[in-house]
Amino acid sequence: MADKAYITPNVLQWARESARMTEEIAASKVSVSVEKLKEWEEGKDQPTIHQAQTLAKAYKRPFALFFLPEVPRDFQPLQDFRSTGSKQLTTSSIFIIREVQQKQAWISDVNKENNEDKLSFVGRFSMNDNPAIVARDILNTLGINPLHYRTVNPIKEWINAAEANGIFVSRTSFINSYLTLDSEELQGFAISDPYAPFVFVNSVDWNAPQLFTLVHELAHIWIAETGISNDVEPEIRNNQKHHPVELFCNEVAANALMPAEFFDGLDATTFSNANVLFRTARLLGVSSFALLVRSFNLNKISDSHYHKLKQEADAEFAAFLLREAEKKLKQKDKETSGGPNYYMLQLNRNGRLFTQTVIDSFKGGFIEPTMASQLLNVQVNKFSKLEAQLFA
What's the CATH code of the domain at 39? 1.10.260.40
- Tell whether 322 is covered by a domain: no
Can you tell me whether residue 170 is helix, strand or coil? Answer: strand
Q: What is the average per-residue pLDDT within 337-366?
A: 90
Helices 34-42 and 9-18 meet at what angle, rounded to 10?
120
Tell me, yes or no, whether 372 lies in a domain: yes
* Range 129-141 average pLDDT: 98
Q: Using the 3D structure, point to which of 17, 50, 67 is the last residue of a domain.
A: 67
Q: Is the pLDDT of residue 316 over 80?
A: no
Domain count, the chain: 2
DSSP-based helix, strand, coil % in the chain, nearest 5: 55, 5, 35
How much is the mean pLDDT over the chain? 90
Look at residue 175 and tell me whether its pLDDT is greater than 80.
yes
Domain region containing 385:
342-390
- Please give the pLDDT value at position 335: 43
Do the domain assignments include residue 118?
Answer: no
Domain closes at, from 67, 93, 109: 67
206 vs 80, which has greater pLDDT?
Answer: 80
- Does 303 fall in a domain? no
Residue 263: is its pLDDT beyond 60? Answer: yes
Domain final residue, candidates 18, 43, 67: 67
Q: 255: exposed, middle or buried (C-beta count within 10 Å: 0-12, 13-18, 19+)? A: buried
In a domain, 74, yes or no: no
Bigger pLDDT: 176 vs 201? 201
Choose between 231 and 263: higher pLDDT: 263
The pLDDT score that the predictor gives to residue 125 is 98
The pTM of the full predicted model, rounded to 2 decimals, is: 0.89
Q: Which alpha helices (H) appear in 60-188, and where do they start and end?
A: 91-113, 131-142, 154-164
More confident residue, 215 or 326: 215
336 pLDDT tier (thresholds 50, 70, 90)? very low
Whether the per-residue pLDDT at 122 is higher than 90: the answer is yes
- Dump strand ranges (E) for the chain: 168-172, 174-176, 179-180, 188-191, 198-202, 227-229
Judged against a pLDDT cut of 70, whether residue 329 lies above it is answered with no
pLDDT tens per residue, range 15-64: 999 999 999 999 999 999 999 999 999 999 999 999 999 999 999 999 99
In a domain, 137, yes or no: no
Task: Judge whether 52 lies within some domain.
Answer: yes
| 133: in domain | no
- Give the rounded percent of residues in the chain with a pLDDT score beyond 90: 68
Residue 334 has pLDDT above 70, yes or no: no
Better pLDDT: 33 or 278: 33
* Long-range Cβ contacts of 250-253 (<8 Å, 24+ apart): 250/216, 251/131, 252/131, 252/134, 252/135, 252/138, 252/215, 252/216, 252/219, 252/222, 253/135, 253/212, 253/215, 253/216, 253/218, 253/219
The pLDDT of residue 324? 66
122-131, 291-300, 320-329, 382-391: which is most confident: 122-131
